[in-house]
Amino acid sequence: MSSGEIFIVVFITAIILVSAALVIAMLISPRSTNEQKGEPYECGIPTRGTSWMQFKIGYYLFAILFLMFDVETVLLFPWAVIMKSLGVMGLCSVLFFLFILVLGLAYAWKKGALEWK
């Protein structure tokens, strides 16, 4: 058989197997429904109201600022490992990188993104 024919056979077999499993389960499985089954899992109290509510935009601002410094540490770790062999030039690069990041923080600070309103 060529690869195309094998592909077709495998494809059809897969469809038959999956649909057979679903149909058999639908036919022979025992079924019981009650109210508690429809609720979310396990812990906590039942939710009230709709979950489509608006969150305060401040959370996103803080998350973005956090992300900025999170990424910074990720980039600083590898530099710290080979700091000695990189020498002064490596230090300057990292300082410039930090300068750009601090600029971002200064911007957010000055524009009042850090105040919780």
Whole-number Å distance between alpha carbons of 70 and 82: 20
From the CB of 82, what's the least distance to other proteins, in Å?
Answer: 8
**Cα–Cα distance, 107 to 113 (Å, whole number):** 9
Provide the minimum distance between the beta carbon of 55 and other proteins in the complex, in angstroms, as a whole number: 17
Query: Does residue 4 belong to the site contacting other proteins (CB under 8 A)?
Result: no
Per CB under 8 A, 3 contacts other proteins: no
| Window 54 to 83, contacts with other proteins (CB under 8 A) | 82
Which of 116, 101, 94 has the alpha carbon at shortest distance from 70? 101
Measured from the CB atom, the residue of 19 and 93 that comes closer to other proteins is 93
Residue number, 10 or 83, with CB nearest to other proteins:
83
Assess contact for 68 and 108: CB atoms under 8 A: no
Q: Does 38 bind other proteins (CB under 8 A)?
A: no
**Other beta carbons within 10 Å of 85:** 7
Binding-site member from 61, 65, 86, 101 for other proteins (CB under 8 A) = 86
Nearest to 114, CA basis, from 66, 54, 53 = 66
- Told to check if 90 binds other proteins by CB under 8 A, we report yes
For residue 98, report the phi and psi dihedrals to the nearest 5 degrees: -65, -35
Residues making contact with other proteins (CB under 8 A): 82, 85-87, 89-90, 100, 103, 106-107, 110
